[in-house]
Amino acid sequence: ETGVTQTPRHLVMGMTNKKSLKCEQHLGHNAMYWYKQSAKKPLELMFVYNFKEQTENNSVPSRFSPECPNSSHLFLHLHTLQPEDSALYLCASSYQLGTEQETQYFGPGTRLLVL
Amino acid sequence: QKEVEQNSGPLSVPEGAIASLNCTYSDRGSQSFFWYRQYSGKSPELIMSIYSNGDKEDGRFTAQLNKASQYVSLLIRDSQPSDSATYLCAVFSGGYNKLIFGAGTRLAVHP
């Protein structure tokens, strides 16, 4: 266990559904991240939050909407997704953002299937 | 040119051998380097970090960094079948001010 939890672990949704992914970290970190990992592709950084403020949106489609109510919680709201959005969605956290000793710890991920 | 490059593999080694995984990066100003292990269907798990030129050892794992050559490697001694996984190299790029991951090298250790 890394101290980063994600729920649900698996999710199947239709293209018209709305769902949310949740991430919680118990490490006292200040930065949180959402990544997408598709089959046989490298990790794709989606969003970065530092002290609850979004600092990066990596050209992610608006059907993905992040929310960070505090430094310990991060959500990813999903609506009208496409089948190509099926992937493993990973949350990570680090103590400091943008420092040379940034070490990110990952949650177990949510395996998403869009039908 | 990709910021962080790794050979996708698979790298196949026999049990008990040394597995050598390599990574090159493009941002010469990078100062922090990480190796993650990812089992199939699981999330990346941090194995080692290295910040200074030279070798850093932790159990069966040795990370090697050569900033002049922009090269970082991971050696796994006495490889075990349980080491079979994808190994991700990550580099903190000062130019982009963020951690950049390579695509990973798949390692297969056969008995």
Per-residue pLDDT of chain B (111 residues; tens, 9 = 90+): 678 999 988 999 999 999 999 999 999 988 899 999 999 989 999 999 999 999 999 999 999 999 999 999 999 999 999 999 999 999 988 777 788 899 999 999 999
| CB pair distance less than 8 Å for A100 and B32 | yes
Question: CA-CA distance, A58 to B96, in Å (whole number)?
Answer: 12
Q: What is the pLDDT of residue B78?
A: 98
- Give just the sign of the alpha carbon dihedral B74, A43, A53, A68: negative
For residues A94 and A31, is the Cβ–Cβ distance under 8 A?
yes
> Residue B76: helix, strand or coil by DSSP?
strand
| A18 Cβ contact list (under 8 Å, min separation 6) | A77, A78, A79
Q: Does residue A61 belong to the interface with chain B, where contact is any CB pair within 8 Å?
A: no
Is residue A74 a contact partner of residue A4, using CB atoms and an 8 Å limit? Answer: no
Nearest CA in chain A to B49: A103
> How many whole angstroms separate alpha carbon A87 and alpha carbon A65?
16
Neighbours of A56 (CB within 10 A): 17
CA distances from B79 to A85, A90, B39 (A): 36, 28, 15
A111 CB near a chain B CB, below 8 Å? yes
Question: Which of B4, B43, B52, B88 to probe by mutation at the A interface, max A CB count within 10 Å?
Answer: B43
Please provide residue A11's backbone torsions phi and psi, each rounded to the nearest 5 degrees. -150, 130
Which stretches of chain A score pLDDT less than 50? none
Cα atoms in the 13 Å half-sphere on the side-chain side of A14: 2
pLDDT value for B5: 94
Contact A100 B92 (CB under 8 A): yes
Indicate the average pLDDT of chain A.
92
Alpha carbon of A53: minimum distance to chain B alpha carbons (Å)? 16
List CB contacts (< 8 A) between B36 and chain A.
106
> Which residue from A minimizes the CA distance to B99?
A102
Give the pLDDT confidence score for residue A100 in this predicted structure.
Answer: 63
**Using an 8 Å Cβ cutoff, are A113 and A86 in contact?**
yes
Residue pair B72/B33 in contact by the 8 Å Cβ criterion: yes
Q: How far is B22 from chain A (nearest CA, A)?
A: 16
